[in-house]
Amino acid sequence: MEPQFSFGVIADVQYADNDNCYNFSQTNMRYYRNALPSLRNAVDHWMKDKRNISFVVQLGDVIDGCNTKNGGKAESWRVLSLVMDELDQFPGPVHHLIGNHELYNFTRDELCESKLFSVVNGFMSTQNYNCAREDDSRKKFYYHFSPFEGYRFVIMDSYDVAMLGWGEDCSVTQQSREILTSVNFNKELNSPVGLKGNDRRFVEFNGAIGERQRQWLKEVLQSAENDNEKVMIFGHIPFYPHKKDQMCLLWDYELVLEILHKFSCVVATFAGHLHRTRYTLDANIHHICIPAVVETPPGSDAFGTIDVYANRIILNGHGSVESEEFIYRQNVLAQEVAVGSVATKKELADHSI
């Protein structure tokens, strides 16, 4: 049976013209220069795939933060141009999510002027794309679209509340610093030393969906529920605390999960950031993490092609991305999410994330 439609997914390319080296925690090797040919392999595969890949979702961190250290802003723009040249070969839409490494290289205002700002690439006027609109001047990186009748895809901004990208004098930065320092007492805010369980997520390289985006998400999901659509949600930072990986997690993940559990239309979430394969079935929702391109050695790949059927999705993995089938499990009662933290909800409520 042919799928209703298919799309590509890839995460954490993190290309840089940089020698291989270990990650921050000295646990995994990063193959920076190999990331570009690996991305090229993915695009070539999608272009030649007989299933006619409708679009691609790039889950964030498409270039590495070391670029700005290597050569300043000019190097960041040069490297981004090389990566986008590869992605531009794909004839369909490419949806770009914002990760922490984009925000190491660019301000949010600069990203709004780049090809990474997906909503400027003709999506809004041509394919039933709907961006969040508010009265203030902040441009939004979150939006939703319908790739096929009966489906709603939601692109989230994992750093709408964060220390990164807003500028030191911005109220968002100040609010985020208060959130972090109320839980994380380390001088180095990227360090989780002393934090336990899910509190390990309170580090600077994470962020939050935020109150306004959560309200927008509720409205999108309610509309999808009314229209009997199935919803898939995409973010750079995982939405669910996968076992032993609590450090890479949205600051406000509990508040987001409370929303998701209220709507039977949500069938799956996709994220990167963890750099490894992780999967959890939470009530009726499949939470799927895609491994990083940058930690894939030469001779291998890290991308997936997803076939969408009426009752399931099939992830066709390549290289370090594992193949798997995910059956829609609607009408399963939502189960209580373990808190695993003494600070979480009170801190989030106090600072109105």
Q: Give the gyration radius of the chain's Cα atoms.
A: 19
Cβ proximity of 145 and 153 under 8 Å: yes
Q: How far apart are CA 99 and CA 110, in angstroms?
A: 14
Domain with residue 135: its CATH number is: 3.60.21.10
| Domain of residue 172, residue span | 5-351
Can you read off the two tokens belonging to residue 156? 């989230």
pLDDT at 15: 98
Are 220 and 154 in contact by the 8 Å Cβ rule? The answer is yes
What digits encode the pLDDT tens for the residues 191-224? 999 999 999 999 999 999 999 999 999 999 999 9
Q: Which pLDDT tens digit goes with each residue over 255-281?
A: 999 999 999 999 999 999 999 999 999
Q: What is the pLDDT of residue 25?
A: 72
Tell me the backbone φ, ψ of residue 280, rounded to 5 degrees. -140, 135
Alpha carbon distance 173, 164 (integer Å): 7
Report the greatest alpha carbon distance in the chain. 56
Provide the pLDDT for residue 92: 95
Name the residue type at position 167.
G
User: Nearest-5° angle of CA 197, CA 199, CA 200?
Assistant: 80
State pTM to two decimals.
0.91
How many domains does the chain fold into? 1
| Residue 38, amino acid | S
